[in-house]
Structure 1
């Protein structure tokens, strides 16, 4: 944390029910493994501040625990197996119920208007609204596969999160967030999307996939000299009205 953002608490939220019907290991496809050294995606959601009688933090934590019962791979960890017979390593998602990280922070001097700035520039403090920065998917060996930071502001709430690409893609994460939202608001998880746990492998591809140790630790390729001469891109804020969104959907 830094600047106007103060960390209040950090905890691990585990699934309310640790029985995952014997599902403990999810093998990873070649595409999954190609993302090992890529940064974990980070996203953020901005909400108006709820009524004072709404127990925001306790409600979010308890509903997250319930949501993790359904989407239990998010509560797991990335696991690595050393194959001594051929000097390779293999990776899989271990659905061990270790839990997701939940951070509670405050930024009482900031308001929603400080984030949604009319000139479109991303404020410097926004990086402190997220639970981590610079984590790679391979860090799932020691870090949670999902982390959430809830930052209470003067007139709003910012929910920042990261997820590990070894456990889910963007569609799966939105399904998870939708289910979590339903549980938090109504206590019901009915109608949630069923989980697809078995990865699809091409015919003839055996798993777990063995990767040479040097390949598993190799960083992603750097931009070529031609690309490195391109001006550095800047983050920007774009505003879409409610009508714009409805027209897109």
Structure 2
């Protein structure tokens, strides 16, 4: 990689993924706690996973399976497919912030590419700045969840690898919940079978 001419990330496509099939529970409002509201100005949680491409890698098949698995995972974690919403309280004296799971296009899914290798990412002592572009909601704050998806997954194809960048609204999930979601997503992706029960602890949405 030439430092004087760094490559740029090329964004190819975007779409939104919703839980399939839908459930009555996923149509309810999810109200947030006082602690959740206290972190409106904090940033989204961001985690990235870098994989080398196997010899028989097919991007089209990979994306299809990934989207299908995400849709099945969101059936258990349906608030991540929602949006934040603010409404005036019944007494007219205050406001309530909640997750609106029904009036939302879903979780955001982005495909991008960059002319880099896995070695370009792993070799430097510090993480290259371009990695920030591997996250769709980089530098977003939780309040942005009123207009942005609460969960976004960006798939960035490298010449010999794939980077999965996860951005998740911190008001909706803490670190433990994030890894529970990710482990469930991974398990469903590997089995590609929604008939099998998921092994991680089921999320609890009633507070």
TM normalised by structure 1 equals 0.73
Matches of 2:132 and 2:166 in 1, distance apart? 11
Contact 1:149 1:161 in 2 (8 A): yes
Matches of 2:26 and 2:69 in 1, distance apart? 23
1:146 aligns with 2:151: yes
Following superposition, the deviation at residue 120 of structure 1 comes to 1.4
1:194 aligns with 2:198: no
Per the alignment, residue 99 of structure 1 pairs with 106
Following superposition, the deviation at residue 23 of structure 1 comes to 5.5
SS of 1:162 mapped into structure 2? strand
How far does the alpha carbon of each residue in 1:32-79 deviate from its partner, in whole angstroms, 9 at most, with x for none?
A: 111011111211111111323461111111111111111111111111
How far does the alpha carbon of each residue in 1:139-185 deviate from its partner, in whole angstroms, 9 at most, with x for none?
A: 11111110000011111110001101221111111111111111111
Contact 2:85 2:97 in 1 (8 A): yes
Matches of 1:86 and 1:193 in 2, distance apart? 39
Matches of 1:184 and 1:85 in 2, distance apart? 46
RMSD over aligned Cα atoms: 2.0
Aligned length: 196
SS of 2:48 mapped into structure 1? strand
In structure 2, which of residues 160, 169, 172 is the aligned counterpart of residue 167 of structure 1?
A: 172
In structure 2, which of residues 41, 55, 62 is the aligned counterpart of residue 56 of structure 1?
A: 62
Of structures 1 and 2, the larger Rg is shown by 1
Per the alignment, residue 245 of structure 1 pairs with none
Matches of 2:95 and 2:62 in 1, distance apart? 43
Contact 1:130 1:160 in 2 (8 A): yes
Per the alignment, residue 10 of structure 2 pairs with 6
Contact 2:26 2:79 in 1 (8 A): no
